[in-house]
Structure 1
Amino acid sequence: MESRVPFLSKSQAEKIVSPYLNKPVSMKTLGEIRNKVNDWLASTGRMVSTVLVPEQEIRGGVIQILILSGHLGEVRVEGNRYFKSENLRGEIRLRPNEEIGLAELGDDVAWLNANPFRQVQTSLAPGSKAGSTDVVLEVTDRFPFRPYISYDNFGVSTLGYDRYSTGFTLMDVWTGWDQKIDYQYLTSGGFSKLQANSGTWAAALPWRHTATVFGSYSKANPDAVGQLDLSSYFWQVSGRYNILLPTLPFKDNKGDLRHQAYLGFDFKAANSDVFFAGAQLEPSTNGLAGLYNIFQLVFGYTGTMTDPIGSTALELVGFASPGGATGDNSDASFQQINGGATANYVYGKFLLNRVFRLPEGISLVGNLQIQQANQTLMPTESFGIGGYDTVRGYDQRSANGDNAYLTNVEVRSPAFSFGQIFGEGDFPDQLVVLGFFDYGQVLQENSDTTTSVN
């Protein structure tokens, strides 16, 4: 037994053909061997390679099997209107005459598709040179500017239930760094009780890391309590640096794990708990005020796993505050708002999402969130339950706690389009009907107080 193929070791070759060694040869067994080698090539991402059994005179029981590797001719870009071809082509790491590995190509396409303004699919076409294969990037992109206006009633009684917002997303199509700028203005309470501005800048760096800076500034003017003016402000500046990790394929090519790690910081300043007390902020019982700063380091990991029946996403993130970063990042400042809080703390979050694909386009979705802290936390860091994104049917942040458990279960219908129903196929609408169950529980770290909402 001998292997002269660089990527196929002798031991692996013996494993593939071992059922046929020292047995009679027939056209049937030769076909089976060829199929087994093809299956192995596919499992290693070499689906462009071809297995041949040439005509030969068999002597001494030796059979010659040839593997012709697919090599890249060129990368072609088609269909793009706004994103430059050279920038898209530059994200494909394959070079002319290199062997085409579909696993690496899949990672490159996933990186391109992280941009919300384009979708890239690949196809293979015969190259201009004998034995070469071209990779064709089939691009669907849209104008890289998206303005919007919105309305919701996700507010709280003290600041107004009705919320109005406007904003935009602007995407860089020139540099190849996929820089993105987001801005949003939000108001409620008749445009007087809450005004909030937030923005984000993000860039996809050439070495496949992502840098993000985001911040916000908000002012609140809830109704005064007697002589107590509850006017408040909150602002934040944060940064994240995401490191894309190598994709891990599952055995037998039945899915993969795409994951990344990240680190960063948060700096926050506020002079009350108005923004985070939510439905708990009742003028007769609350409204404590005092300036405080938050400075914390952030470390996290996210992963998404696909399999034949669905997908799983998870995130682990830790927050650590040494305390003392500023004069208002102190125990004394914290305890003006929350009597048990200290400026030195750590806490962590675990998030898990599972999607099961069921027959007829129906899906079953489950979410789990857990937060655990070692100290009493400030309102900016506490976990709030209640509202559209936690326990539906309750006001936002009906209950807050240092430690929390939250679960959501949804059954979702297939997506359908009114545009298609009424013959307007170009109208890009989608509607999904769902049923849900939500349950959440929050606990105070240095107290026996527990609140459940479902």
Structure 2
Amino acid sequence: MADLTHNPLEEELEIQISPSQPTEIAQVSEPPSLEPLPEPEPLQPLPPPEELLETPPATSPDEIPGELPETITVSGFEVVGSTVFDDATLAEATAPFTNRPISFAELLQARSAVTQLYIDAGYVTSGALIPPQTLEDGIVTIQVIEGSLEEIVVTGNRRLNSRYIRERLELAAEPPLNVPRLLEGLQLLQLDPLIENISAELSAGLRPGTSLLQVEVTEADTFAVQLSADNGRSPTVGSFRRRIQVSEANLLGLGDGLSIGYSNTEGSDGLDASYTLPLNPRNGTLNFSYGTTSSEVIEDPFNFLDIQSESRYYEITYRQPLILTPTEEFALSLTASRRESESEFLEELIGEALPFPSLGADAEGRTRVSALRFSQEWTRQGSRQVWAARSQFSLGLDALNSTVNEDNIPDSRFFAWRGQGQYVRLLAPDTLLLVRADIQLADEGVVPLEQFGIGGQQTVRGYRQDFLLTDNGALLSAEVRLPILRVRNIDGLLQLVPFFDIGTGWNAGEDPDPNTLIGIGAGLQWRQGDRLTARLDFGLPLVSVDSEGTTWQEDGIYFSIVYTPF
């Protein structure tokens, strides 16, 4: 199941107890660069090409005069001005008119054959002509005029800067003007969440070979408020989570987005903010993210220890798609990440807070991690299936006063790789198959901030949140969403969702016992348009574990509600 309500800011105070592992507090805070892949959806049908782009009729050959007495013998044609076709292709097109006497009408046909090459390849505004010339050595010159845009006129936009649209279309309309490529650029804008609808008309410009593109835009509503509730937090700080997120996807009219969220449980409060600025018309972006969380352990029998923690993260990410089409994207991103946490306990018992001795923390109970993260993301969408994958290399650094320990104790110096993949298949109307995989490999032990969590609503259902936290891990999950009730007048859909989850984890040192969790179960999901999604899952654990909590998670029950009023 995709993470609809995941809070990347909340620091987990997770108590792990097993016969082979001492009790410890593992602090886990996930900034945006480490969030799970969002659930992909099959590509929605795009408007027909004729609705997106109205084009002038293709250039037709000149009317051929009647019989002409004059004939000439052409030994060859020299085609000048073509940047699209090589000499061999052009020579092949004009070959039927060489090395024999031809009439003036056939001479025009040779010219038209070159024009037809352009039309067939989608260059409908390009053409060829025979300029005035003196025939020498039987060589006739054909001049190609390749089409280009004279101007792009954008209308209908209110807040979105015309430059945002114009620059993206200029990329698609680089000379020589190719209509299929321009249509692809319009399709990308139609898929842009900032745009509700777009249409364009291509007409002749003032100069030969030039065209005017008139674009009509209807902007989408870019302001959104999302309210959510779930029981996906660790019971250590209270599993029931409430969250509100406010976002504006076009803050300054540049296509820049700002998102601010607040979440809390009985034992935690978190605030996060993110700002994304477009850098170029190829959808390159720069993102700034910050989050802070305060937590305290409220779960028996450890709540009397008064364990409290503060955590925060800072991230700067540059992301650049290298392949971008309406159905496929491949992008690279580089993130500079900083994560910090401080934990203390016993203040209420002894009147003075002491540093909590968590794994990898310094003598003051602090953990500081500086890292560079290099990610590769790929998505391919079709009308019936979607593939999505992400690979990420994380290099921990001894920089900016990061935590550095001796004796092989985990610290800010580490190297890890994480791979994630999703496959969605539309089996029938409103019937989806969703398969997810996730893996992390680390070169050595890592601090709890970087460990791999297994168990809970988003990983292996049937167990409490992050029941296992390990240096390395792998997850596989599959579910089928079957429609059982449709309420068309309110756009409502109820689905039955059987699922299977399995996860395993291992450490650089001693492994937990058990180190593999398996869960099966079923859920109900209600979707009402794009405003409301509610889900209830029941997971049955197939591997017995020692879990003595009293929350719904221990009973294998998970719920989530996401409501977007506007």
> What TM-score, normalized by structure 2, do the two folds share?
0.59
Give, in angstroms, the shift of residue 106 of structure 1: 6.0
Is structure 2 residue 500 aligned with structure 1 residue 437? yes
Q: Select which of 298, 304, 323 maps to 2:379.
A: 304
Per-residue CA shift, 1:396-420, capped at 9, x if unaligned? 21222211212233334589984xx
| RMSD (CA atoms) | 4.6
Once the two structures are superposed, residues 356-388 of structure 1 have per-residue CA deviations (whole angstroms, 9 ceiling, x without a partner) of 444546443332222110011111111112233
**Which of 121, 144, 168 in structure 2 is aligned with 1:41?**
121
Moved over 6 A (4+): 14-18, 64-68, 286-289, 414-417, 429-432
Matched, 1:216 2:279: no
Shift in Å, 1:159: 1.5
Distance in 1 (alpha carbons) for counterparts of 2:257 and 2:169: 21
1:392 aligned onto 2:457: no
Q: CA deviation at 1:175?
A: 4.8
Choose which of 342, 355, 359 in structure 2 pairs with 1:271.
342
CA contact (8 A) 1:349 1:369 kept: yes
Is contact 2:480-2:499 (8 Å) kept? yes
**2:225 matched to which residue of 1?**
147
What is the 5 A alignment of 1:28-177?
41-42=121-122, 46=123, 48=124, 70-93=147-170, 98-102=175-179, 105=182, 108-109=185-186, 112=189, 116-127=193-204, 129=206, 133-172=211-250, 174-176=252-254
Question: Which sits farther off after the overlay, 232-241 or 390-399?
Answer: 390-399
1:92-142 alpha-carbon deviations (Å, 9 max, x no partner): 225999432356546755775675333454444434657655445453423
Q: Which amino acid aligns with 1:315?
A: R
Distance 2:329 2:237 in 1: 41
Name the SS for the 1:183 alignment partner: strand
User: How many percent identity over aligned positions?
Assistant: 20
Q: Distance in 2 between matches of 1:116 and 1:246?
A: 19
SS at match of 1:319: strand
2:414 equivalent among 330, 345, 349: 345
Q: Name the SS for the 2:121 alignment partner.
A: helix
SS at match of 2:166: helix
Could you tell me which residue of structure 1 aligns to residue 510 of structure 2? 447
Residue pair 1:74, 1:96 contacting (<8 A) in 2 also:
no
Residue 259 of structure 1 aligns with an amino acid whose one-letter code is F
Secondary structure at 1:158's aligned position in 2?
helix
Larger Rg over CA atoms: 2
Paired with 1:411 and 1:68, the residues of 2 have a C-alpha distance of 56
1:262 to 314, 333, 340: 333
Note the C-alpha offset of 1:203. Answer: 0.4
Where structure 1 has 5 or more consecutive residues not aligned to the other structure, the ranges are: 22-29, 55-63, 250-254, 275-285
- 1:195 matched to 2:237? The reply is no
Deviates more, 1:431-440 or 1:365-374: 431-440
Equivalences, count? 405
The one of 248, 254, 263 aligned to 1:186? 263
**Cross-structure match for 1:319:** 394
SS, match of residue 330 in structure 1: coil
* Structure 2 gap segments, 5+ residues each: 1-75, 99-109, 131-140, 346-356, 520-566
